[in-house]
Amino acid sequence: MQERLLRNFFVFYLYICGNLAYSQSLPDFTSLAEKNSAAVVNISTSSKVSGNASPQGFNMPDIPENSPFYDFFKKYFGDIPEGHGQSQERSSLGSGFIISKDGYVITNHHVVKDADEIIVRLNDRREFIAELVGSDARSDIAVLKVEGEKLPFLKLGDSSKVSVGEWVLAIGSPFGFDYSVTAGIISAIGRSLPNENYVPFIQTDVAINPGNSGGPLFNLDGEVIGVNSQIYSRTGGFMGLSFAVPVNVVENVYEQLKGKGRVSRGWLGVLIQDVTRELAESFDMAHPHGALIAKVLPNGPAEIGGIEVGDIIVKFNGNNISFSSDLPPLVGGTLVGSTVSVDIIRRSKPKKIEIKILELPTDDQMAAKNSANKPDSLKNPLNIVVKSLTEEQKKQIDIYDHGVLVEDISSGPAQESGIRRGDVLLLLDNIKIKNVEHFNKLVKQLPKERSISVLIQRRDGPVFLALKLEK
């Protein structure tokens, strides 16, 4: 009995010692949170939007509830909001932080996008109406300016020195709960996210939720190493994956927005993809690496410099390219007008090319370029390209005498109505579409400023959509 008691006591003692050792190894964030919370701000915005706007981009007509079309539009476009047709006010909440004693504030672009008024609130309850200095959608960074006395501000660190496994802390206002503190570790660095090609994100497991956007990410020295930007979630809430814009990217954007109100980036003018194991074998490469050129844009720096489709960029300006996602941030951060050395593999042989980097065109400039290079069939009022159905496709949908397949689609009435690539168009304005030629003829005859119906066939069955051509 005594021996058993001694053994149990020894086990308990080891358990207590183990927990004490573990607790002592964890960082204490108390002083860090106390010291830096004062310079973290809550950001609220308001903007007026038209009540006619629909979430899907369709201009909802005024339809009485007793109309036979009311259920149709409700099914495909959602509930018709109260006060439809009237101006409505929209508000948003986010976070930010002051980076200078003269009142410059960093936050996310998406926090202040389209805002008519921006209010910055400090934890001492002071409130300021902020001026938008500039905003950059590609990095999701915005710079604000407030006028005040004795403003606290944060110290910026060096995101190039962060390491996986390093402890980090976030301060923000998730769901409006001001100055909430959460902690975790850096899970990965240099992450590339879909449609975010120019930012090598810092991935963490820090709990980030709506309202945290724009808030700072600190290292244990109390330095800002990133701006919390977004999460990966299947539910809308935190699931252990959060992403921050590295502070070195933020500093560059801040200086450009402060200096000239916009951000210029380097541009190569290529479409790229990863090199798979199978592709590496076909190119006689020892292992997969580099960025494979899938398309060279006309009159771009790459074409002028001699880059060809099928080339593999393995080094850019002295930096090794392991994955295709490594290339865009390097190109974007290159000084416009500078000439860089690019190492490629062409037909299994190494080659070095000198390329002069030009400025990345704006979205509007890109759209204009793409429009100029569109096939004629994409320049129709619907901005859509169709092709004939194969016999196999006709069998699949059990329709043999009419219909065309959507091969390509760009921004325009058809896209806004919900039509997408791969749809089969059966009826246009209640007329059977016989073939491609007939479709193009019908499009030219479509009425303006009146909603027309389109019957489409998808895998889950037929569905009607409504579209309208502007005058």
pLDDT, one tens digit per residue, over 193-242 is 877 788 999 999 999 999 999 999 999 999 999 999 998 877 777 888 99
Q: In the structure encoding, which two tokens stand for residue 410, read together? A: 């760009």
Q: How far apart are CA 257 and CA 133, in angstroms?
A: 7
Give the tokens for residue 173.
């206002």
- Residue 56 has a pLDDT of 41
State how far the Cα of 272 lies from the Cα of 194, in Å rounded to an integer: 14
pLDDT at 60: 43
Residue with tokens 């996210």: 193
Report, as ranges of residue numbers, the positions in the chain whose pLDDT lies below 50: 20-23, 52-70, 72-77, 80, 83-85
CATH top class, domain 266-359: mainly beta
Strand 404-409 relative to strand 452-458, pairing: unpaired
Beta carbons of 129 and 122 less than 8 angstroms apart: no
Which residue among 159, 213, 229, 324 is the active-site one? 213
CATH architecture of 374-467: Roll (2.30)
Q: How far apart are CA 162 and CA 247, in angstroms?
A: 11
In the CATH scheme, what architecture does the domain 159-260 have? Beta Barrel (2.40)
- Active site includes 438? no
Half-sphere exposure of 194 (CA within 13 A, CB side): 2
Q: How far is CA 228 from the centre of its chain?
A: 13
pLDDT tens string 36-57 = 999 999 999 988 755 544 444 3
Coil, strand or helix at 256: helix
140 is catalytic: yes
Query: Among this protein's residues, is 91 annotated catalytic?
Result: no
**Phi and psi (nearest 5°) for 302?**
-65, -45
The CA distance from 384 to 389, in Å, is: 16
Write down the catalytic residue from 44, 109, 140, 325: 140
Written as six digits, the tokens of 47 are: 């903007």
> Active site residue: 110, 322, 388, 408, which one?
110
The pLDDT of residue 55: 43
What are the residue ranges of CATH 2.40.10.10 in the chain? 159-260
Domain with CATH 2.30.42.10 in the chain: 266-359, 374-467
